[in-house]
A = this chain, B = another copy of it.
Amino acid sequence: MQNNNMQNTEGVIQLAIRAFEGQCNRLTKWLSAVSDEVLLEEVAPGKNTGLYLLGHLVAINDGMLPLFDLGKREYPELDDVFVMVPDKSVSHHYTPRQVKDLWLRHTDLLISKLSELSSAEWLHRHSSVSEEDFIQQPYRNKLNVLLNRTNHLAYHIGQLALLKRG
């Protein structure tokens, strides 16, 4: 990234994409050092398990695909277990290993697809905002969603970090 590039809108958008990728890489690295057994534990007594938080993060990242006009969701079925209901409220078949694999595969796909968006597309509305609303609320663009999702990811990584590693 050269200096002249940093002085324009595209350079600033690249900073935000890098920040998102940085959080994804942080979680991927953390997962490589955590056992399946530890992922089944709660991050604090009575709180969400690592497995639930990880499934939740895959599902929320997955939601960015249609929101950014980058295609259909890969794993919409995750919502029934990891988004619409609290942890430990429904029985399901997902194992830590499976959800780790989903995270790794989906992150690769998502990062690749995000690189397809032009600066103009990043600053255009996301798919759940109407053209009319966007005229009044022009900050409701894809980049703003990415910033918010990056913080959401960091929020839950902070919780996962409380689990023992090893």
Q: Would you give the shortest CB distance from A115 to chain B, in whole angstroms?
A: 16
Q: Would you give the shortest CB distance from A11 to chain B, in whole angstroms?
A: 8
In angstroms, Cα B141 to Cα A19, docked, is 13
> Which of B7, B16, B143, B148 has a CB less than 8 Å from the CB of A123?
B7
Q: Would you give the shortest CB distance from A142 to chain B, in whole angstroms?
A: 11
Within 8 A of B (CB), among A6-54: 6-9, 11-16, 18-19, 22-23, 43-45, 47
Report chain B residues within 8 Å CB of A148. 19, 22
Stretch at the interface among A59-67, A80-88, A106-114, A155-163: A155-163
Known: A13-B12, A44-B43. A3 touches B157 (CB 8 A): no
Known: A9-B8, A155-B154, A157-B158. A135 touches B3 (CB 8 A): yes
Report chain B residues within 8 Å CB of A5. 138
Please state the number of chain copies in the assembly. Answer: 2
Report chain B residues within 8 Å CB of A141. 6, 15
Q: Which residue of chain B is the closest to A6 with respect to CB atoms?
A: B138
Known: A138-B1, A158-B158. A123 touches B43 (CB 8 A): no
Q: Would you give the shortest CB distance from A67 to chain B, in whole angstroms?
A: 16
Does A147 have its Cβ within 8 Å of any Cβ on chain B?
A: yes
A16-B147, A22-B151, A44-B45 given. 17 additional CB < 8 A pairs? A1-B139, A3-B134, A5-B138, A6-B138, A8-B9, A9-B9, A12-B12, A12-B143, A44-B44, A151-B151, A151-B154, A152-B154, A154-B154, A155-B155, A157-B158, A158-B159, A159-B159
